[in-house]
Amino acid sequence: MNDITELQDGLFDGLRQLERLELNVNEISSIGLRVFNGSAMLTSLRYVDLSYNRIQTLEPWPYFVGVNGQLDQKAPINLGYNNISSFTNMMGIKAKCGMKTVHSVLTLDNNPIRHFTDILHGWNITILTLLCLSPITHGAPSHVYFRFVWLDCSCIDFDIFKLL
């Protein structure tokens, strides 16, 4: 624990050889919009652990880590045990079919997420686009874990449950 509270823009820019980032058990509550985006050139980053922090809002930056993963070696992104309850897209990512496929394991365990659809709405992505970026195949390219997340029992997520 280093009592880190913020990851500011430019912090890792150009670190093309950086493969692992482990900043779990800190006080991180803020992540700059450009920390993990394509302009940071983190082309080798395949492991991020930001668990046990104070993150409340999540931008779609896991996409940029996930595209560095491979089907047989997924990129783990651990954001468990934070306070994530909202998803935003201030980064302005316009997800569409034809973008690079994501190969990741995104862990959102023990966060106060109320609905699966909050991610889709917050990141401005449809379920069909999500399936293009991470198609369901015999060797599923990506997984998202929501263990110990107490979802609201309502019809809001019905279409996702029906699909699964």
**pLDDT at residue 85 in the model:** 95
Query: Whose CA is closest to 20, among 71, 59, 92, 78?
Result: 78
Residue with tokens 């880590």: 65
Structure-block tokens of residue 110: 């023990």
DSSP reduced 3-state for 62: helix
**pLDDT at residue 2 in the model:** 87
Burial of 53 (0-12, 13-18, 19+ CB in 10 A): buried
Instruction: Please check the confidence at residue 138 and state whether its pLDDT lies above 60.
Output: no
Tell me the CATH number at 103: 3.80.10.10
Q: For residue 21, give its domain range.
A: 1-164
Query: Whose CA is closest to 51, among 91, 12, 21?
Result: 21
**pLDDT at residue 1 in the model:** 74
- Average pLDDT, stretch 42-46? 96
CA dihedral for 83, 86, 92, 97, sign (positive or negative):
positive
**In whole angstroms, what is the distance from residue 29 CA to residue 26 CA?**
9
3-27 per-position pLDDT tens digit: 999 999 999 999 999 999 999 999 9
Say how many domains are in the chain: 1
